[in-house]
Structure formats: C-alpha cells, structure tokens
Structure 1
Amino acid sequence: MRLKILTVDDSKTVRIIVKKSFKGFDCEITEAQNGVEGLAMAAKVTPDIILLDITMPVMDGVEMLTKLKSDPALKAIPVIMLTAEAGRENVMKIAKIGVRDYIVKPFKENVLVDKVSRVVDLRPMGEAAPIQKKIDDPIDILVVDDKPAIISQITEGFGHTPWNVKGVASTGEAIDFCQKKLPDCIIISLSLPEDAAITLFRIIRSNAKTKYVPLFGLSVKTAVEEQARAQQAGFSTIIHKPIDFEELETKIGKAVNLDSSGKYFQMGEGFMTVRLPKTCNASVVNEVSSYLKDKTSEAVNAGISKIIFDAQNVASLNMDVIKLLLTSMKTCRDLSLKYALTGNQAVIEESKKFEESKDWKFCDTVENAKASI
C-alpha cells in the first residue's frame, strides 16, 4: 500500500517543492490550497501524514489542526506544520494542539524528507514492499510499563487475537528485548519515572533496526502536559487510560499496516457480505470505506454480483453509518450489482427517523437477505 502524504499550502511553489522532495519515494501526494480543502481531502483519502502550512486564506493551519484533532476519524493522523514564524510562542501554540513536528520556511528538501521519515516509513521507489500481514496474523507487541496490572490488562485485552504481548518494566529491559526480537509495535507508559518514556523513544528512533517501529504512548487522559511532550517528541499516537481496546486494536492495525478487511468483508457462494460491527463509530466507518472500492472490484472480478450489507450487530444507527450504506448502495447500482440489507429491530426503527433511510427495507437474517436477491 503506497504511503499517502497530504500537503496543505496556499503557495503553489511550496506544493511543487513537496512533490519534488518525495519524487524518489513510493508515495502518493495529494494537495489542498487552504484548511477547508485540506479537511475535505483528509476525510476523502485518509492520508498517513499531513504537511500543513500555518498562514493560509479561508481557513488557516491552526484552525484546520484544531478541527482535525476534534474529529474521531482524523485525529490520529500525524501533522507536521510548515511555518515562517519560528518564535517560541507560535511553536508552543501549535504543540499544545497536537502537532508532531514543525519546519521553518524556507526549507531544504532533505530536511523535509528527514522530518517526515521520522514519523512514517518512507520506502524508496522500486523497493519491494513486504508482504502485508492480515489482522488475524500473529504480531509482537512490546509493552513498557512499571505497573504489572496494566501489562496484564493489555495481555487480556488482546486475548481474543493471535497477537503476542510481552511486558517489561524498564528502559533497559525494553532495549534488550528489541535487540533479540524486533517487535511490530511498542506501547510505552508516559508516566515512567525520570522521563524514561522520552529517553526510550529517542534510543529506539536513533537505532537503524528499530527506527520505524510504531511507538504508542500510554497515558491517563487528564495528563495533558506529558501527552503534549510525547506528541512533540514524535510518538505515533497516544492511548488513554482506561484503555478502549477496540480503538487500540484499530490503531495498531493501521500503524502496523495490517489488512483488516477480513473483519468486515467475506466472500463465498456467489455473495459478498459486508458485516458491520456493534460499535460503528466514525473510525470504523472510515476503515470500512477505505476497503470498499477495492473489495467490491475484487468481488466483481471473482464473478460475484450480489452483496449483503449486514447491520444485525450494530448497536446504534448514526449518520456516519447511513452515509456509508448510501455510498455502498450507489456503488452497487452503478455496477449493476444486486444488494440487500439486514438489521436488528433497533436499527430498523432508527432508520425510520432519518430522511435518507426512512424507506430502506431490511431482512432479519443474512439467509433471508440472500433469498431476497
């Protein structure tokens, strides 16, 4: 999967420089001229990283960054700010909102590439991509926390997966583990004594072997200052305690580039079934949407012409789910595919409250849905 970089800048010259800087890398550059366009493009393509100018017309970078961080589906995307203002006050302002790094204009191409490579895995063009693991493949997660209860909680939280969780209590133990076996993801408690989390982060990032391993910071939600320092240092994302394991699993899957389509898409007996989970928040909807086009093409190429959208497990129907289903049904109509919906009683009743879904017809089981088309 190609790396996606979104550059948001009102200067065409800067956008050209950004494109030129990454010409030798396996990445796709998308552009926007202001914050309004930037937000729309971010929602459309879900970039792996955003390069965001501060001073722009219509909507400036600070406002766009604020809106990004308040959007559940977009807040985890790392942002590097481009600014002509190197003053401490301006830097502190954007750091508090949640920026990963900043670059002062004018800048050299190698500086931009270096800053971006610290956050995402830049692969030279033509270099063979590793075989993508699936969400149900084993991966190794290293947890660095001096509280055994937290390590046990994370181990139990991933008990339903084939993922291997190894817990250590100190920086030294973490370094020893990484020398013996390279983990796929590292979760570090930000409350480790003597600023050990930041120290460990720098050691890991300075080592060629571990440089690109995703690093998650673990923190109590109210510890805003330690979270800001971790984000400024370059942590991939921050996980709040108490831990939402569904969210954590999704974030690890994205960071490790796991193919999670199997959670939602199944094919067989002439049908493709799209199963929506109980919790269908904006992040989940965004994840399903990212696979929809490719999986539909895969189904058509396999000779499948019937699709079931299964919402039987969905706890609550919201506008994000409705938009996803509307888009999916339009795709089916455009490709002359037959489709049917399933839903529980709560979903059926809630659908009647929205203008967009009030006339939808649901089947009560997947078997009945298949029989209906």
Structure 2
Amino acid sequence: MIRLQEYQPGDVVLPAGELGKGFCILESGVLEVVRDSKVLSEIDMKGSIFGELSEILGLKRDANIIAKTEAKVRHVEESVADIVRKNPKVAIKLIKTLGRRLYRMNRIAAKEIEDKDTHNISNTLGVTVLVVDDKPNIIRQLSDIFQRSEWVVKSASDEASALRACEDSTFSAILISMALPNDTAVDLRRKLKTNHNVLNTPVIGMIVKGDEVAQKKALDAGFADCVTKPFDANKTEAVMYKVMNLDSSARYFKFVDDYLFFKLPPELSTFVLDDIKENMDKRIRNTINEGILKLIIDVSFLEEVDENAIEIVGEFAEKIEDMKLPMRGAIIATGEDADMWNNLDGCEEWGICEDLDDAKEHLAKDPEELEEE
C-alpha cells in the first residue's frame, strides 16, 4: 500500500520510538532528522528514500523525522522484503541510498579523528562567517558589521569558490545572496548539505528588503533565516546570533578580568534598547554567579546622550541598587556633561573616567582611599 500525505512545518512524519515497516519517499519540501531537540541532518532532495533502516535492522527509530517546510511524502507501507521480491530495482536503489549514507558517515568520522588534536584550539578562535556574494560592497558592509562582534569574515564570489572553501574549512555560519545568477543560491544550499564540514552549519539567505518571493524561496530551500539589504547592522547581527545559537547580549556585556563591562553602542534604536533590557536581568544574575563585584559602563561611543541612554544606564544601576549588591562602578564618559551620570539613582558613588584604563585604575583603589581623594 502506498499513500501520499501532505505535512505542514513542525508536523512529525516519522516518530521516534516506533518499529517501522516499509519506507518513505520525499516528493517535495524539506524534512529534518531530530534527536533530543538537535537537528542531525536534513532531507531535501526529491525522490530521497528514508525510514527503511528501522525494519531492515529490526530496531525502533531513535530520531524523529519532522517537516521543516510544507512537504509531500509517499509512505510505502509494505515490508521491505516483499517490496524487493516484487521489484528488484527497489533493492538497487536502497543499496545505493545506504551506501551514500555510509560513505558520508565515514567521511564525518575521519574528519573528527583528523581534527581531534586541534578541536579545542579552533573553538577558541571565535566565529568565522562565509559570505557568498559577487558584490564586493556587500562583503565590505558585512565585514564592518561583524567586526563589532570580532567575527572573522571569509568571502566567495560564486558557487565553485564557496564549495572549495567549505571543503578546506569549517564555518560558524554561511551567508548566501539569493541574487546570485542562475538560481545558484538554492543549488549551492543543496550541495552544502552533503559536505561533511558544514553539514550542520546554519545557512542564511541575503535578500533585498521587501522581496517576499526570494524570502519564500530561501526558506523553502532550507535556509535557516534571511537578512535584508540594505543591512540594518543590529538586526543583521541579531539574526546571526539567533541562527548560531549565541548569546546576543555578548554584544553589550562581557566579563573582562574581574569586572563586568557594559558598552553602549553608538546608536540606541528601539531594537537595541529592547535587546539590552531583555538580557539585563540575566547578565546581572550571571555577574553575581561569577562572584564579580565591579562594573564598568562605557557610554563614550554614544553618538547622542539622549533620554534612552540615560534611561538604560539608570535602569541598570537601579536594579543593582535594589538588589543591594555590594558592587562598585565606574562610567567611561567624556565631554562637559560627563559628571551628570552621577545624578542617576544608584550611580552617585560611581567614578566618572575618561577611558578604560582610568576606570580600571579607579576600581583597583580601596574605597577608603577614594573617600580621602
């Protein structure tokens, strides 16, 4: 018996924990293989066979097959043995399918062994992003944006150079322009899924703002998300942090030596303000957990000291004061109005410093020594 079934994003095509019978054939769409909430791989090629191993090995499925996009799947609900007896050509296709999987798993295993000694070192090198676009200006713009988070940007101008780069290196994320000629972006996305170096690397589409057709094409092809041109630096970064599962608050907060460093960006858009406020409590809790009792807030990069800037610093200081934390603070501020930061609740005793070295020196002094000054 063969039945064709349609699925919506999030629908379970084959559940884990069941002993399967027969197999499935993907007609359209993209599916994900998910175990313990982690996406192991994707199935996106029309005609792909999956789900047969459960019956062949006599084992219950240990992963869920879930629709990532709208999908159509043919369920062949007959024992594999009976199907093969009736149609030997099916046996050949099954063997080829299993062979490709085994080949890919062997390559992944070999790569893991090869990288074993350097794995920990590479993890300390931070985020590396591959940008695939034939427009040099786009590469420069993204490089400038990602420099704020100290990410490394590599570039490729076409499909061939992108594939070569992925054969030689691993990446934290890959950005592909949906405007590449001859529908290259979708074809490249499909080919990257067979590359062991970037098998689980999030791939993001770059589209022109308002181009809903390109956005739908990207998401249907299995892109993790899209960023729009012209780039909004904050929103672009936010998408990247999300797809890479990174803490977005690291753009503003970080631990340096024995203090928490909170740096306000040049522009405080509504988006940035909401992002900071959303992460503020979590960062204070993390600071307490780390046993850190020193804080430096850098407002010197602000293009304009407006009500939003005063509000966000004041709210942060008030939270610390309300929690009765024995935390000492310093604010890096320049200009004639620098001293006005001491007027905020919770900031009355904080030092106003010209630069980071000055702030660190201030916090290194004994409180009694500061009172004498």
The 1:210/1:24 distance shift into structure 2, 3 A limit, reads closer
Match of 2:68 in 1: 115
1:301–1:164 CA distance, 2 compared to 1 (3 A): closer
- How far the C-alpha of 1:201 sits from its partner, in A, is 1.9
1:365 correspondence with 2:365: no
In 2, Cα distance between equivalents of 1:302 and 1:266: 9
- Tell me by how many angstroms 1:188 deviates: 0.8
Q: CA deviation at 1:254?
A: 4.1
Q: Deviations over 1:119-141 (max 9, x none)?
A: xxxxxxxxxxx97999x944332
Corresponding residue for 2:157? 169
Letter aligned with residue 319 of structure 2? K
Distance 1:152 1:336 in 2: 44
Q: What is the TM-score of this pair, normalised by structure 2?
A: 0.50
Alignment of 1:276-291 (within 5 A): 276-285=264-273, 287-289=275-277
Equivalent position to 2:253, from 227, 252, 264: 264
The secondary structure found in structure 1 opposite 2:129 is strand
Any conservation in 1 of the 2:131–2:174 contact (CA below 8 Å)? yes
Map 1:1-373 onto structure 2 (within 5 A).
Answer: 25=36, 110-112=64-66, 115=68, 137-155=125-143, 158=146, 163-205=151-193, 207=195, 209-258=197-246, 261=250, 263-268=252-257, 271-285=259-273, 287-289=275-277, 292-293=280-281, 295-314=283-302, 315-317=304-306, 322=311, 325-326=314-315, 329-338=318-327, 342=331, 365-366=352-353
CA positional deviation for 1:317: 4.1
**Uncovered stretches (5+) of structure 1, i.e. residues with no partner:** 1-13, 28-108, 117-129, 352-356
The change in CA–CA distance for 1:333 and 1:133 in structure 2 (over 3 A counts) is: farther
For the residues of structure 2 that align with 1:189 and 1:203, how far apart are their CA atoms?
15
* CA distance in 1: counterparts of 2:151 and 2:237, whole angstroms: 10
- Is contact 1:267-1:273 (8 Å) kept? yes
Of the structure 1 ranges 178-187 and 306-315, higher mean CA displacement relative to structure 2 is found in 306-315
Distance 1:328 1:138, change over 3 A: same
TM-score normalised per structure 1:
0.50
Cα pair 2:215 2:226 within 8 Å, conserved: yes
| SS of 2:218 mapped into structure 1 | helix
Equivalent in the alignment of 2:88: none
Give CA deviations for 1:189-227 in whole Å, capped at 9, x if unaligned.
111122221222233245555332121222222433212
SS at match of 1:365: strand
Alpha-carbon contact 1:309-1:339 (below 8 Å) kept: no
Indicate how the Cα distance of structure 1 residues 153 and 231 shifts in structure 2: closer, same or farther if over 3 A, else same: same
Q: Secondary structure at the match of 1:212?
A: coil
The amino acid that maps onto 1:166 is: K
Q: 1:318 to 1:296 in 2, by over 3 A?
A: same
CA contact (8 A) 2:131 2:154 kept: yes
Q: Provide the rounded CA distance (Å) in 2 between the counterparts of 1:361 and 1:311.
A: 14
Shift of the 339–189 alpha-carbon distance from structure 1 to 2, 3 Å rule, reads: same
Two-structure CA RMSD over aligned residues (Å): 4.8
For residue 267 of structure 2, give the secondary structure of its aligned residue in structure 1.
Answer: coil
Give the number of equivalent residue pairs. Answer: 254
Take 1:23 and 1:183, find their aligned partners in 2: how far apart are those partners? 21
- Gap change, CA 1:306 and 1:173, over 3 Å in 2: closer
Mark the CA change 1:244 to 1:347 in structure 2 (over 3 Å): closer, same or farther: farther
User: 2-side partners of 1:311 and 1:286: how far apart?
Assistant: 17
Give the 3-state SS of the residue equivalent to 2:68 in structure 1. helix
* Change in CA separation of 1:337 and 1:26 when aligned onto 2, cut-off 3 Å: farther
Q: What CA distance in whole angstroms lies between the structure 2 residues aligned with 1:267 and 1:170? A: 40
Q: 1:359 to 1:250 in 2, by over 3 A?
A: same
Q: 1:283 to 1:181 in 2, by over 3 A?
A: same
Aligned in 2, Cα 1:251/1:337: closer, same or farther, shift over 3 Å?
Answer: farther
State whether residues 314 and 345 of structure 2, in contact with CA within 8 Å, keep that contact through their aligned partners in structure 1: no
Distance 1:217 1:173 in 2: 17
Matching residue of 1:78: none
Cα 1:151–1:364 shift into 2, 3 Å: same
- Residues 313 and 153 of structure 1: CA distance in aligned 2, closer, same or farther (over 3 Å): closer
| Percent of matched pairs sharing the same residue | 23
Q: Which deviates more, 201-210 or 214-223?
A: 201-210
Residue 173 of structure 1 aligns to a residue whose secondary structure is helix
AA paired with 1:115?
K
Q: Report the residue type matching 2:68 in the other structure.
A: K
Would you say the 8 A contact 1:265–1:273 is kept in 2?
Answer: yes
Quote the Cα distance in structure 2 between the aligned partners of 1:132 and 1:323.
Answer: 37
